[in-house]
Structure 1
């Protein structure tokens, strides 16, 4: 039989698309257009193999897995006859492993009391996922501890309505779908850093700025009122994750002071103080960068204070540059060696960086602004004084009401007595 006389093979694949996701259902179906043939015996082949993969007209992967990916074609032979089909066109089945992606809104840097939401999504996949969130253990076990009140099946958001110091840490999420359950891999890691209004310890950095040049010495000290050595410096970097200064190869710790002898760009990360009981305090974002950096304060700026920013260049003396200054991506001052903001307010909070036309631009630094303690105290005192001012009037009003009530009762008794005597 010549090729042109062979029955036509139609290879149909249901629910297949570019980049099918593990856990979905995918069906391969082989239809043969052959007149006068009452029944066909089907043979499926995968990736050019001579072995028959399946003998069903319709083969279903439920759920489809990464190992099912490949090139498929089908072939038919007449049951009880001699007719055979031609070989169908090859179809490629691709299968992607679903990946959970974690993000933080509105930002990773918070002050105590701020709300923050962990958003877990499965990109390139349909709905129907339930989510779980985990905190990465701060020791070297790298355990993922399920949040005790982690909600499953309630959407992809997990919210701390009022961030506390204990929420400082690194988080991941996973997603599950179907029965039996199919799980994604753990998501990317997302840090959340909560700065206390009055932390029991301060992270002192020398030189005192958040951005530093490469190949310089950097000192980080945890200092409290008792000047104790019970603190250790910890850090989180994108390349190495959670690390302890006291048992590292990148630095050395003496007492509560951590010293990096020669900085490199991979030292960029978040550094903080950890107590003996595992509590985390005073996180500071440190960036190590060659050439151009922004000199900005390490600690949050208090409302009403003055904020000074400078653009520094590593290979010049003095290192100051005439540069443009930006806040949240918008130009706010151009061609000056420093930018000064008087009477800082909450509206000045944001990401700042500087840019030089020839040297390049610095990394971004987050400037946090906090309410002054004196203003808070004044507000409390004002409230108390208002209450105390009103108290005498309230007291007089209560006494008058009480006397009026007693007078009404007395008059009622007198009236009742007169009525009985009549």
Structure 2
């Protein structure tokens, strides 16, 4: 399994497919990626209806000690999931929502690396070529789409927030929080045209301001040179 940058620096829970919302009867695979060299990792969850319970205690099946599969999801599977080792170490937590809504938002379950591209997808329970899609962040429409996709080219902290997708006249999804971790890598792209224009303008101002001083300095040097020559030239006297 390809690890996300977030999982390369700590032990974490991986979700396949990588999203936080699922329809009823979907299948979810959860696994613990160990970066702490701990032992006895198990997937656990806490739902609104019950306490903390490990995989196979009434939900999910295991393919190995640190993996858990939910074959058919139900709204009762909505809750907070994490990994826990026999030594008491805990991974990150992920909120998973199982919905009966007519619209579902597909967004990453794990934090997104700053500077990375992120794609959100809006899915309708019943697809139609007449659908139009709107993406909302913190209650405000940020993007309209005819394809049901919204891509953030370079994610930053400003993109962090609660996202919802809506299909006008059809329905709206539940909200999912998108986390952005770290700082983006410095861009190697050339400065924009406006910045280059400002730089050229500043250069011209410096040249125009400095030119009179330069000319005055040269003129004074020439006068001083001529005077020096005049003083050093011997005066010829004629005897009468």
Short-chain TM bin: 0.5 to 0.7
Q: Select 2:164's aligned residue among 328, 349, 353.
A: 353
- The aligned counterpart of 2:181 is 370
Task: Considering Cα pairs closer than 8 Å and 6+ residues apart, tell me whether 1 or 2 has the greater RCO.
Answer: 2
Q: Which structure has the highest strand share of the two?
A: 1
Superposition TM-score, scaled by structure 1 size: 0.39
Distance 1:255 1:206 in 2: 17
How far does residue 351 in structure 1 lie from its aligned partner after superposition? 0.4
- Equivalence map 1:186-197=2 (5 Å): none
How far does residue 331 in structure 1 lie from its aligned partner after superposition? 1.1
- The aligned counterpart of 2:76 is 266
Q: Select 1:310's aligned residue among 89, 98, 121.
A: 121
Q: Find the residue that maps to 1:219 and give its secondary structure.
A: strand
- Equivalence map 1:233-244=2 (5 Å): 233-244=43-54
**Unaligned regions of 5+ residues in structure 1, if any?**
1-195, 376-422
How far does residue 234 in structure 1 lie from its aligned partner after superposition? 0.7
- The aligned counterpart of 1:232 is 42
Distance 1:274 1:321 in 2: 43
- The aligned counterpart of 1:256 is 66
What's the CA shift string for 1:229-254, capped at 9, x where partnerless? 621001111111322114x1121223
What's the CA shift string for 1:47-91, capped at 9, x where partnerless? xxxxxxxxxxxxxxxxxxxxxxxxxxxxxxxxxxxxxxxxxxxxx
Superposition TM-score, scaled by structure 2 size: 0.66
- The aligned counterpart of 1:219 is 29
Q: Find the residue that maps to 1:331 and give its secondary structure.
A: strand
**How many residue pairs get matched?**
178
**Unaligned regions of 5+ residues in structure 2, if any?**
1-5, 187-240
Conserved 8 A contact 2:19-2:106:
yes
- Summarize the Cα distance change of 1:340–1:368 in structure 2 as closer, same or farther, 3 Å threshold: same
- Equivalence map 1:275-294=2 (5 Å): 275-290=85-100, 291-294=102-105
- Summarize the Cα distance change of 1:312–1:205 in structure 2 as closer, same or farther, 3 Å threshold: same
Q: Find the residue that maps to 1:347 and give its secondary structure.
A: helix
- The aligned counterpart of 1:200 is 10
Q: Find the residue that maps to 2:49 and give its secondary structure.
A: coil
What's the CA shift string for 1:98-134, capped at 9, x where partnerless? xxxxxxxxxxxxxxxxxxxxxxxxxxxxxxxxxxxxx
Q: Which structure has the highest helix share of the two?
A: 2
Distance 2:185 2:150 in 1: 26
What's the CA shift string for 1:206-248, capped at 9, x where partnerless? 12211111112111111225998621001111111322114x1
Q: Find the residue that maps to 1:286 and give its secondary structure.
A: strand
How far does residue 352 in structure 1 lie from its aligned partner after superposition? 0.3
